[in-house]
Structure 1
């Protein structure tokens, strides 16, 4: 007789439950996704009624197959054990390019073809070829524009943030937020210096970096990060870890930021005093810290606020917006976060919203707590930003509710 899934092991322990169909399917996503990213555009551009000459179809198909093979190989060599920066640049660029090509192949392959059909434009082959050239044209424009957007020094976004519990002496306090600089395979030391010059021109009382400094260890990316040591603030420069630090020896980044003159707020706080009033500036490790296995790291809000006067307003640094539930429960006045990149490449925005309570900008959570989510100062992986501009944020704190 065949044993059922309820059979117990010899020591009496029940066996682990079988994974669901969804979990089994998730295992295949790393294999399925690259195929879809390259196969769908190939079908839309070459095999959807265009009737291209055989050499064109063969050459085009060969390019798509080359992309399908080269992208995962380059990603593995670039981000795996070998950590080859040139391979990472190739893999990341192919990933971003294929995502944009896939998106617009799907959209224009359906919507534009439908519009042309309704308008009675040409026959099936004419419409198919118009779609092909439209997809290629839109993709080329978005790649060029997206690359320029990713590589430029971010524009400064300025907004007033009213905090009812903020004392009048702190009214007008200037807080500059940078985050998700993601120094990586593309050397951005010069860009880093220009970002820091822009920050210094804002004459901040407090400068905050809410994590994801780089992709790679502090030793490997030190040259790109060193300009952060030139940042000036009237009161303090504070930093908290992001999830990417925990992929790259987080303690090394904590030590380097300390060396560069930043205050790593690892589940602790400091006091910002101005005009006779006081603001508690607290920070927590990223929510992934505890599962990283790095001793002493973990997101502990109680520890961050230990010893703080509960009647004082609290500004909290937490890398991921999803920490806002804990912040609101603790009565935090304002949480500053990054992590989302504003989606970075549309329409990835919609996937980010599944995981995070906010994508970008200022939002209210509960009766007291505000959350500001930055779209990030740099970019992760693919060197493109499409409909998700980077930012350096100047938040001017205002007392009262006006």
Structure 2
């Protein structure tokens, strides 16, 4: 049903660029019209096929649909965006077009000049921005150092560093070599602890075990911890929760552990994804903090920033999250803010501080515009 709904929405949305690029610039029955019509049928179908098969078939096969389908998704997004922006000068020049329908010197109507110019401009910008975004997304993640003051943190723990990884999205496009690069970047930082805040995979253990294998090489003083993201629940979360400990990664499932460092300690908690209740595996902040020492600082891992309200209500001092990708395709971050209440960076809700990473990978298009991939090294400091 989800794929049917997406297909219908995608089909309707494609009518607008089809009208502006194909219908407005070609004549009925012409070769250009036929080519345009064919592309505006095939490309959406490939995109839908890529979305539908990304987590359900062997990534080695799925990539042949994922690459063209996801790239078209990004081009389509910016194509629509630019065409909408160009509607403003189109309306402003409407009187100029109507006043003189033809340019006798060139033999081309002003209307044709305007429609063709808009189509060319939209195509050039959409392809150019997408190409730039591919180079950013497929490049190495930036390493961001973030000092965060934490209420109740014992001064003896000051300087404790957590390497925060999120949204790797192992699957048809991101594979073992990309994970190895992330692992090497993290190990170079020599962190005290590694935290993976969900959406590690887009596929099954059977298909992605080899790609995930480099995670076993992560090195830190206190180990690697993991909480589920929404995409784990599309990929067989139980199998991944059982498999990750073989790689030295400990899932935190609505629970907390004590991290002892420098003669002091703080609590590290983790909750299941905000939408996990749909899979009978709900996140539970209350269960995660039950039995805590109220005198010790409490740091919590959660996939989605919108858990911060409940975290604040239960006395969490610092929430570390991901999920947003920083918007991934600017200006999509505006919608992310409406849905999550945060995009990337540091926030405060009551006495609780929150840091949201942009994520180390990407979902869908291998494209990042205005939101480069990120590994965050969060340094804890006493408030």
Per the TM alignment, residue 51 of structure 1 is displaced from its structure 2 partner at its CA by 7.3
Confirm whether residue 323 of structure 1 aligns to residue 307 of structure 2.
yes
- The partner residue of 1:91 within 69, 74, 77 is 69
What does residue range 320-399 of structure 1 map to in structure 2 within 5 Å? Answer: 320-366=304-350, 368-399=351-382
**Cα distance change, pair 153–130 in 1 and its aligned pair in 2 (3 A):** same
**Cα distance change, pair 230–74 in 1 and its aligned pair in 2 (3 A):** closer
Higher relative contact order (CA 8 A, sep 6+): 2
Per the TM alignment, residue 80 of structure 1 is displaced from its structure 2 partner at its CA by 5.4
Report the Cα distance in structure 2 between the residues aligned to 1:162 and 1:252, rounded to whole angstroms.
36
What does residue range 219-230 of structure 1 map to in structure 2 within 5 Å? Answer: 219-230=206-217
Report the Cα distance in structure 1 between the residues aligned to 2:321 and 2:50, rounded to whole angstroms.
31
**Cα distance change, pair 106–315 in 1 and its aligned pair in 2 (3 A):** same
Provide the aligned C-alpha RMSD in A: 2.7
Report the Cα distance in structure 1 between the residues aligned to 2:128 and 2:224, rounded to whole angstroms.
39
Per the TM alignment, residue 399 of structure 1 is displaced from its structure 2 partner at its CA by 1.1
Q: Is the 8 A contact 1:46 1:52 kept in 2?
A: no
Give SS of 2:334's match: helix
Report the Cα distance in structure 2 between the residues aligned to 1:374 and 1:250, rounded to whole angstroms.
22
Give SS of 1:271's match: strand
Confirm whether residue 107 of structure 1 aligns to residue 94 of structure 2.
no
Report the Cα distance in structure 2 between the residues aligned to 1:150 and 1:354, rounded to whole angstroms.
24
What does residue range 233-252 of structure 1 map to in structure 2 within 5 Å? Answer: 233-252=220-239
Q: TM-score, normalised by structure 1?
A: 0.84
Query: Which residue does the alignment assign to 2:100?
Result: none
What does residue range 2-401 of structure 1 map to in structure 2 within 5 Å? Answer: 29-48=5-24, 54-79=30-55, 84-85=61-62, 86-108=64-86, 110-113=87-90, 123-293=110-280, 297-366=281-350, 368-400=351-383
Report the Cα distance in structure 2 between the residues aligned to 1:182 and 1:77, rounded to whole angstroms.
14
**Larger displacement relative to structure 2 (76-85 or 383-392):** 76-85
Q: TM-score, normalised by structure 2?
A: 0.88
Give SS of 2:260's match: strand
Per the TM alignment, residue 33 of structure 1 is displaced from its structure 2 partner at its CA by 2.1
Per the TM alignment, residue 91 of structure 1 is displaced from its structure 2 partner at its CA by 3.1
Give SS of 1:172's match: coil
Report the Cα distance in structure 1 between the residues aligned to 2:181 and 2:233, rounded to whole angstroms.
27
Per the TM alignment, residue 81 of structure 1 is displaced from its structure 2 partner at its CA by 7.2
Per the TM alignment, residue 147 of structure 1 is displaced from its structure 2 partner at its CA by 1.2
Per the TM alignment, residue 79 of structure 1 is displaced from its structure 2 partner at its CA by 4.9
Report the Cα distance in structure 2 between the residues aligned to 1:393 and 1:348, rounded to whole angstroms.
22
Query: Which residue does the alignment assign to 1:13?
Result: none
Give SS of 2:319's match: strand
Q: Is the 8 A contact 2:153 2:382 kept in 1?
A: yes
